[in-house]
């Protein structure tokens, strides 16, 4: 279900960006503004990023098989990393183009381009908020990165608006104001690219999730009657879900059947407390008070 929501968000991004590329490119060429042309280029990368997210989530949603017993969830993180790299590439391209336009004399932008930009900002900001909400609710780094692709487009448009407005207000000698605006926007886009690339790499490297989630899992396990202690809690992200490995200590005299039943109760408690936990692997151990006391003293 989470993957399908992410796919629908990516699909809407493809449709909206395809229309915006045509509008912005035409307005940029006819209105003599590189900032708007750069904006159109950035929107074109948004199309490819949404397609990559779409494909990544489609693969991630596939069930485990003989070759991939843990599923295909890493495809979501790979898609997020690719989109983040596209953000960085887009930022570099816009920066290079902006510098070229700054040192090259050109015409003053046409006033009508401001109207086009206002419409673009409203559309892209709306799309950003919608896609980001889906990304946060599903925990998908790829979808959140795709959302920030839309936000970066809106930022580029806002910068272009101010740059064009300054160029029109300043008159002769201020023609490059929109190019400086595009250069400034490229820095913001690049910063977001770095941020989401780091998040995607963290998922690929199985970095421990935020402490609040880990604490919630441990608390749920300890709340089950019969669980005397827990240790060696490991959590890793797999797509939009989490996989948990946990050692549970219980009464040493407990039979194998009773231990099996208790482990099932722990799994149920953890998945109820944290619904995004897809699997819980429990290793049952006898409770050892002496070892526990020694552990507490070392802390």
Q: Tell me, what CATH number does 39's domain have?
A: 1.20.1510.10
Q: Which residue has the tokens 């796919």?
A: 7
Instruction: Select from 134, 123, 176 the least CA-distant residue to 15.
Output: 123
Does 157 score more than 70 pLDDT?
A: yes
277-286/241-250 β-pairing = parallel
Q: Which residue has the tokens 């064009």?
A: 164
Q: Which of 204, 239, 262 is the last residue of a domain?
A: 204
The tokens of 199 are what?
Answer: 């998040």
Phi-psi region of 6 (alpha: psi -120 to 50; beta: other; left: phi over 0): alpha
- Total domains in the chain come to 2
Give the three-state DSSP class for 246.
Answer: strand
Instruction: Select from 209, 196, 219 the least CA-distant residue to 243.
Output: 209
For residues 191 and 217, membership in a common domain is answered with: no
Largest CA distance in the chain: 89
Q: Which of 204, 233, 251 is the last residue of a domain?
A: 204
Confidence of residue 1 (pLDDT cuts 50, 70, 90): low
What CATH number should be reported for the domain holding residue 248? 3.30.70.1350
Give counts: helices (H), strands (E), the chain.
9, 3
Mean pLDDT, residues 228-235: 90
Give the three-state DSSP class for 250.
Answer: strand
Instruction: Select from 252, 256, 249, 255 the least CA-distant residue to 227.
Output: 249
For residues 234 and 88, membership in a common domain is answered with: no
For residues 194 and 263, membership in a common domain is answered with: no
For residues 177 and 248, membership in a common domain is answered with: no
**Structural contact between residues 164 and 178, judged by C-beta atoms closer than 8 angstroms:** yes
Q: Which of 204, 230, 257 is the last residue of a domain?
A: 204
Alpha carbon of 107 to those of 102, 176, 178: distances in Å? 12, 9, 11
Confidence of residue 34 (pLDDT cuts 50, 70, 90): low
For residues 43 and 180, membership in a common domain is answered with: yes
Q: What is the pLDDT of residues 240-297, one digit of tens each?
A: 788 999 999 999 988 999 999 999 999 999 999 998 888 899 999 998 775 555 454 4
Domain that holds residue 292: 211-298
**What whole-number distance in Å separates Cα of residue 28 and Cα of residue 25?**
5
For residues 281 and 181, membership in a common domain is answered with: no
Q: Which residue has the tokens 């749920």?
A: 220
Instruction: Quote the pTM value.
Output: 0.65
Q: What is the pLDDT of residues 91-150, one digit of tens each?
A: 888 788 778 877 876 677 778 888 888 888 888 888 888 888 887 777 777 777 778 777
For residues 69 and 177, membership in a common domain is answered with: yes
For residues 68 and 104, membership in a common domain is answered with: yes
Alpha carbon of 178 to those of 97, 102, 122, 185, 191: distances in Å? 12, 9, 19, 10, 20
* Torsion angle of C-alpha atoms 43, 47, 48, 53, degrees rounded to 10: 120
For residues 233 and 177, membership in a common domain is answered with: no
**What whole-number distance in Å separates Cα of residue 230 and Cα of residue 235?**
14
Q: Which residue has the tokens 């151990």?
A: 285
For residues 217 and 199, membership in a common domain is answered with: no
For residues 80 and 156, membership in a common domain is answered with: yes
């Amino acid at each position: 279900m989470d993957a399908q929501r992410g796919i629908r968000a990516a699909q809407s991004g493809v449709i909206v960006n395809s229309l915006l590329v045509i509008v912005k490119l035409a307005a940029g060429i006819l209105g003599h503004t590189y900032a708007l042309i750069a904006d159109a280029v950035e929107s074109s990368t948004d199309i490819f990023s949404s397609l990559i997210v779409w494909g990544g989530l489609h693969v991630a949603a596939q069930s485990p098989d003989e070759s991939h017993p843990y599923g295909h969830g890493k495809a979501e993180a790979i898609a997020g990393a690719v989109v983040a790299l596209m953000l960085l590439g887009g930022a570099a391209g816009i920066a290079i183009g902006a510098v070229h336009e700054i040192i090259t004399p050109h015409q003053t932008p046409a006033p009508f381009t401001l109207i086009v930009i206002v419409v673009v900002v409203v559309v892209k900001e709306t799309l950003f908020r919608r896609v980001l909400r889906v990304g946060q609710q599903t925990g998908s780094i790829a979808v959140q990165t795709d959302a920030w692709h839309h936000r970066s487009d809106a930022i580029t448009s806002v910068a272009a608006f101010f740059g064009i407005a300054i160029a029109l207000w300043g008159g002769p000698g201020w023609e490059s104001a929109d190019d400086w605006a595009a250069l400034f926007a490229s820095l913001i886009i690049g910063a977001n690219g770095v941020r989401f690339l780091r998040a995607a790499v963290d998922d690929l490297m199985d970095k421990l999730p935020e402490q609040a989630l880990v604490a919630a899992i441990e608390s749920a396990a300890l709340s089950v009657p019969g669980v005397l202690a827990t240790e060696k809690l490991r959590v890793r992200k797999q797509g939009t879900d989490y996989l948990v490995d946990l050692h549970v200590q219980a009464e040493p005299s407990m039979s194998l059947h009773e231990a099996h039943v208790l482990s099932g109760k722990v799994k149920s408690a953890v998945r109820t407390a944290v619904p995004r936990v897809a699997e819980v692997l429990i290793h049952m151990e006898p409770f050892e008070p002496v070892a526990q006391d020694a552990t507490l003293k070392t802390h």
